[in-house]
Structure 1
Amino acid sequence: MEAQILFLYLSLLALSLNFLFQYLKPRLSRMLQPSLETQAKAAILSRKEVAEFLDSPIVEVVEEEEDEDIYTISSSTFDFDPYMASKAEAVNKALDEAIPVGEPLKIHEAMRYAVLAAGKRVRPILCLASCGLVGGEENAAMPAACAVEMIHTMSLIKDDLPCMDNDDLRRGKPTTHKAFGEGIAILSGGALLSLAFEHMTTAEISSERMVWAVRELARSIGTRGLVAGQAKDISSEGLELNDVGLEHLEFIHVHKTAVLLETAAVLGAIIGGGSDEEIESVRKFARCIGLLFQVVDDILDETKSSEELGKTAGKDQLLGKLTYPKLMGLEKSKEFVKRLTKDARQHLHGFSTEKVAPLVALTNFIANRNK
């Protein structure tokens, strides 16, 4: 009898320890995970071949035979344009509902003016696609997708202010401070930032996943994310090329541009129920396309007109900003686009070929966009 009781106690102890381990494992993993700042630095410093890449001659890039299970499906069977149109329509509808007209009227009008302007919606679509990649439902990720777009729009409102980049045109329309005045523009940006977090918490997911998502989003916009990139960008205006290197430029854009694209994808994977390994793969993929987005942006700023872009062209050069064409040259920047595109694709290996197709197509869209 005593032996049976002892066995029962030992069995209960074993079950309890196993439960405790399973409960603590994901928390310990995230506690030990490097901060966004550390990850960004690692992404920069790990690029040991930078010097070789910059010193290598410019070559005609021959398209390699694409991997049958991932690349071919996106180009031959996946219809990307209807996918983007339907997702953008769903995001726009959700944003419209998330920011109803109310008092104070001017603030809400300015918020809606900025957010509902004709944007590409790359970040929210990336969030939705990443959620689907790990098996999640789109409706669960939509609040986070809207939150990311609200924060992105807030950053554009602030960037366009006279004290920052001083721009008059955004998404084919006068910038928010031109339409509503600087005071209302600043307040509407702050309101969008606040609403983003409030709105994201309406998602029906576990409290643990929600806390994780909130922490990721908060990190991406502070002094380890958007603010860091913008501050470095401002302080770098007018610097001579001899004073900076590719690492300096990458720091700006990993924080200013890439981090929010990265966070959008990571939020989708978190909300979709992805494992730690899946989320890390999504993070690496999104970091590549985040940087890719900026390199393409710099090329377009130098090669397209304001009418084509829907925003002021040539502004970076006028302000003496650091850009990839300025640092690398235009042709080398185009070669860098191909390299980042290939790197991004490689991080998607191992996922379902059907579910990975939108992200492969989105990568191609970012690499080949013309505005």
Structure 2
Amino acid sequence: MNDTHTHADSSQGLPSFSDWMAQVQQRTESALAGVLPDPAIAPARLHEAMRYAVLGGGKRVRPLLAHAAGELAGASAADLDRIACAVELIHAYSLVHDDMPCMDDDVLRRGKPTVHVEFDEASALLAGDALQTLAFQVLAERPLGADPASQLAMLTQLAIASGSRGMAGGQAIDLAAVGRKLGREELEFMHVHKTGALIRAAVLLGARAGGALGEGELDRLDHYAKVVGLLFQVVDDILDAEADTATLGKTAGKDADHDKPTYVTLLGLTEAKRLADEMLDDARRTLRPLGARALRLEQLADYVVHRSF
């Protein structure tokens, strides 16, 4: 993480970035614990698996992005908590399914056994299914944002970002690409869907919850979100190549072992790092006209680049 913003925060009378991030992470953890079914309620094993998959792990990057964009747009903290929960539940479900033997077949996630290892494959499959539907329940069950039409647009956006034109489609492309050499455009197309779609949704759902932004500002946030979504994947590929399993909290070198195309295998480590720097500059330039309101979004772009899991 880049420390340069700590002083900028205090000079504006704001909490430091690390303090703000910790506050949002704690809010999100508490909100998730509240929306997930109680493990004492039947079917208890399914509810235990759902809570195991979601709570007590992860950096909550998508909730952080939703809160940062929502704060810029004047959204209420309560609405942003619900949006944060929805995007994180979708993300958690995707990890549960991705780790299963029929997909990436991994045994470690966030420093602990994956759900199908800790429980069983059937429980993992059902937990992922239930987390996905819970995300839409959280977004739909109470009024959210400026008006019903805005809330309906949020539900539609999350559905598209999660489905065949988003994350699920990206995973299908990823599975089909094993053992193949992809060009940069093909690799980017895959990750715009697999990783980028949900990150983009997190930013835009947060922004739409406030209702205070014009189309030009929303377009600017959309471009920022697309860049950060790809940036996240480039850094993920770099970390997968450089970091060890203990640092990552998941199996290191897995992509190379499975002969998956990555930005590192395509470009090499040096060029992949240069690309990450270029994307970070693009994200910063995009936010500049939004001024001080975009501080947290800029800091999060820095954080994506400098994170070490």
TM, length-normalised to structure 1: 0.78
Contact 2:241/2:252, CA 8 A, preserved across alignment: yes
Give, in angstroms, the shift of residue 75 of structure 1: 5.2
Which residue of the other structure, out of 144, 148, 151, is the alignment partner of 1:204?
Answer: 144
Matched, 1:311 2:242: no
* Distance in 2 separating the partners of 1:137 and 1:351: 19
Give, in angstroms, the shift of residue 144 of structure 1: 1.1
* Distance in 2 separating the partners of 1:287 and 1:298: 17
Partner residue of 1:68? none
Going from structure 1 to structure 2, the CA distance change for 1:208 and 1:73 (only over 3 Å counts) comes to farther
Question: Over residues 230-289 of structure 1, what are the superposed CA-to-partner deviations in whole Å (9 max), with x where a residue is unaligned?
Answer: 0110010011x3xx2100110111100011101100000111113322222111101111
Partner residue of 1:63? none
* SS of the residue 1:349 aligns to: helix
Partner residue of 2:283? 344
Contact 2:66/2:206, CA 8 A, preserved across alignment: yes
Contact 1:151/1:192, CA 8 A, preserved across alignment: yes
Partner residue of 1:77? 8
Partner residue of 1:96? 33
* Distance in 1 separating the partners of 2:163 and 2:33: 26
* Distance in 2 separating the partners of 1:285 and 1:87: 20
Going from structure 1 to structure 2, the CA distance change for 1:305 and 1:334 (only over 3 Å counts) comes to same
Equivalent residue pairs, number? 297
Aligned 1:128-207 pairs, distance under 5 A: 128-201=67-140, 202-205=142-145, 206-207=147-148
Contact 1:269/1:278, CA 8 A, preserved across alignment: no
Give identity over the alignment, percent.
Answer: 41
Contact 1:123/1:148, CA 8 A, preserved across alignment: yes
Going from structure 1 to structure 2, the CA distance change for 1:222 and 1:125 (only over 3 Å counts) comes to same
Matched, 1:271 2:209: yes
Give, in angstroms, the shift of residue 77 of structure 1: 1.7
Partner residue of 1:359? 297
Which residue of the other structure, out of 221, 237, 241, is the alignment partner of 2:162?
Answer: 221
Question: Over residues 107-162 of structure 1, what are the superposed CA-to-partner deviations in whole Å (9 max), with x where a residue is unaligned?
Answer: 11001000103110000111011011122222222111100000000000010000
Amino acid in the other structure paired with 2:119: F
Matched, 1:251 2:251: no
* Distance in 2 separating the partners of 1:166 and 1:203: 39
Partner residue of 2:57? 118
Give, in angstroms, the shift of residue 73 of structure 1: 8.3
* SS of the residue 1:370 aligns to: coil
Going from structure 1 to structure 2, the CA distance change for 1:299 and 1:100 (only over 3 Å counts) comes to same
Unpaired runs of 5+ residues, structure 2, are: 10-15
Structure 1 stretches of 4+ with a deviation exceeding 6 A read: none
* Distance in 1 separating the partners of 2:74 and 2:82: 17
Give, in angstroms, the shift of residue 349 of structure 1: 2.2
Partner residue of 2:262? 323
* Distance in 2 separating the partners of 1:298 and 1:318: 13
Contact 2:73/2:209, CA 8 A, preserved across alignment: no
Going from structure 1 to structure 2, the CA distance change for 1:72 and 1:186 (only over 3 Å counts) comes to closer
Going from structure 1 to structure 2, the CA distance change for 1:189 and 1:140 (only over 3 Å counts) comes to same
Partner residue of 1:87? 24
| Rg larger for | 1
Unpaired runs of 5+ residues, structure 1, are: 1-70
Partner residue of 2:237? 298
Which residue of the other structure, out of 326, 335, 355, is the alignment partner of 2:274?
Answer: 335
Contact 1:316/1:323, CA 8 A, preserved across alignment: yes
* Distance in 1 separating the partners of 2:3 and 2:268: 31
CA RMSD of aligned residues (A): 1.5
Matched, 1:282 2:213: no
* SS of the residue 1:163 aligns to: coil
Contact 1:134/1:278, CA 8 A, preserved across alignment: no
* Distance in 1 separating the partners of 2:130 and 2:3: 43
Give, in angstroms, the shift of residue 204 of structure 1: 3.3
Contact 2:90/2:131, CA 8 A, preserved across alignment: yes
Contact 2:161/2:197, CA 8 A, preserved across alignment: yes
Partner residue of 1:230? 171
Amino acid in the other structure paired with 2:172: A
